Each structure stands twice: as structure tokens, then as C-alpha cells.
Amino acid sequence: MLPWGHAALGYLLYSYGLRLRRTGPPSGLAATCALAVGTQFPDLVDKPLSWTFKVLPGGRTLAHTLFVAVPLLLAVAFVARRFDRRRVGDAFVVGYASHLLGDVLWQLGQGNVRVLAFLVWPLIPVDEPEYDYSIVEFFLQLELTAGVAFGLVVTVVGLLRWWRDGAPPLPSLGLEVAHTAEKSSGERE
């Protein structure tokens, strides 16, 4: 999944998770930023270390493994609760976990269970192409495949949900949104 798809999937999971807990739609700059960073974090670590610096064997290795993700997310949740920033910690955790889900979602739907191997790297070697070009060149050579199209659909759905939620964090930045957020029973802004 591409960055915008990861951001949208993370936002959808976080937004609907808050609704299940009946705490209202996402709000606040800190939580929204933590969510955004969390949705991109594994790629921000692994892609440069693999594609640019050639330190890792693939763009879904170190920060994409459960051996790094689980302890890191537990530590983030613990520290967030310790400093009474639970919503910020939860946002990062949901964002990071949604990234890992996003990287397997389309291929699992196609019956490719081998895609799960990166979650336990280095126990199972990564099976992905090596790129001899930069991240910018990667995006310039991108083609519209079924998986990319799926990510675009997730992005559109995520943007619609974000808009209906009142476009957080824009209101907390003092920027007015041209509509009012969706109100349903049990929700508050």
C-alpha cells in the first residue's frame, strides 16, 4: 500500500475505533499527528535503510517485523498512559498497526499468504524486489495495478470519513471547515 492508502486506512480504523468506544470523532493536533506518523513509520525506517543506504535486504524488514513492532507499540502505549497522553499513544499504535495490515490486506485477499513472511523477518527471508533507484524514482515508475487501485479506493473512503468527521486537526488549528461534522448518538466533538 502506498503512503496515502496507509494514512487513509489508519484514519478509518482510528475513527471507527473511537466510535466503538463512544468517544467521538478524532480531534486534536497531537493525536492526529501521532496517527499520521504511525501510519508511515515502518516505511520511514525501512525504505531509506534498504533503498538508499542498502543496510537492510528489503523495504519491509526491520520496522515491519513483529519483533520490533510489538515491543515498540507496547512501549509507546505504556509511556502515553504514564504521561496521561493515552489518545496520542493510541493514535500512534493504531496508525502503526494499520500500516502492517495495509501491507498484507490486498495480497491476503488474493490468497497470497506468503506475503506475511516479512512480519517474522529475519526468520523467513524477505521475498520482494530490490530497488536500484531512489524513493522518488519508485513513485515516478509507479503503475496502476489492482493493488494500487485498491489503495486509491481506501484513500477516497478515508478522505470522505475524514471530511465527515470535521477534517481533524483543522478545527484545532483554528481553520474553519465548510461543513459541520456528522453527529450521531453518543458522539461529541
Whether 162 and 7 have beta carbons less than 8 Å apart is answered as: no
Predicted confidence at residue 189, as pLDDT, reads 41
- For the chain, what are the domain ranges? 3-173
Predicted confidence at residue 130, as pLDDT, reads 64
Predicted confidence at residue 129, as pLDDT, reads 63
Residue 188 confidence (pLDDT) above 50: no
According to DSSP, residue 133 is labeled S
Residue 180 confidence (pLDDT) above 60: no
Predicted confidence at residue 140, as pLDDT, reads 85
Predicted confidence at residue 178, as pLDDT, reads 61
Q: Which of 1, 3, 32 is nearest to 150 (CA)?
A: 1
Q: How far, in Å, CA of 61 to CA of 64, rounded?
A: 5
Q: How far, in Å, CA of 162 to CA of 10, rounded?
A: 11
* Mean pLDDT in residue range 41-54: 92
Q: Is 171 helix (H, G, I), strand (E, B) or coil?
A: helix
Q: Is 124 helix (H, G, I), strand (E, B) or coil?
A: coil
* Mean pLDDT in residue range 88-96: 97
Predicted confidence at residue 187, as pLDDT, reads 47
Whether 161 and 25 have beta carbons less than 8 Å apart is answered as: no
Predicted confidence at residue 183, as pLDDT, reads 47
* Mean pLDDT in residue range 96-120: 93
Q: Which amino acid is at 88?
A: V
- Which residue has cell 525504505? 47
